Amino acid sequence: MRSLIKKVLSETGVPHTEEPNYLISKLKNKIVDDLGKVYLDVTGNKLVLPPIDIKIDDTIKDGKIAGFNHPKNGENGKMGIKSKALEDVEYLKWVITHELIHAAVGEDLPKSEEHEGLFKKLAEKINLPKEYWD
């Protein structure tokens, strides 16, 4: 995994001495700025995201690359991303974007509704490619 991280960091111009958390944090901050503008445009309200802890998590079930759990019991929101997402910076950006849209929606929805409504409006407005909507 270390060589994979070095490859991705070199593609983004991040020094090899940095941890993958630096890359993820850098991408997250840029996406939050963009999502804030989109959220204001779509809803008329300022985006207020909860504090979010992000970690590389290869225990995420097969068929998923990432996941987001809204804050509960005073804890931060939790975003997990499989290390495989680090193989391509553009892909990683869209994975983080998808999960941050879930955070922006602000609630856990039933499976049948989690990619509908506000999620869909924000995804479309931020130009999330449709293959990353599910």
68-125 pLDDT per residue, tens: 988 989 899 999 999 999 888 999 999 999 999 999 997 766 666 777 889 999 999 9
Q: How confident is the model at residue 3 (pLDDT cuts 50, 70, 90)?
A: low
This prediction's pTM: 0.82
pLDDT in tens, 21-63: 788 989 999 999 999 999 999 999 999 999 999 999 999 999 8
The pLDDT value recorded for residue 59 is: 93
Asked whether the beta carbons of 99 and 67 are under 8 A apart, the reply is yes
The whole-number pLDDT of residue 11 equals 58
Q: Would you state the pLDDT for residue 85?
A: 92
Domains delineated in the chain:
2-128 (3.30.2010)
Any idea which residue has 């804030």 for tokens? 36
The pLDDT, as a whole number, for residue 21 is: 79
Question: What is the distance between the alpha carbons of residues 84 and 95, in angstroms, rounded to a whole number?
Answer: 11
- For the beta carbon of residue 83, count every other beta carbon within 10 angstroms: 14
Backbone angles phi, psi at 62, to 5 degrees: -55, 145
- pLDDT score of 113: 74
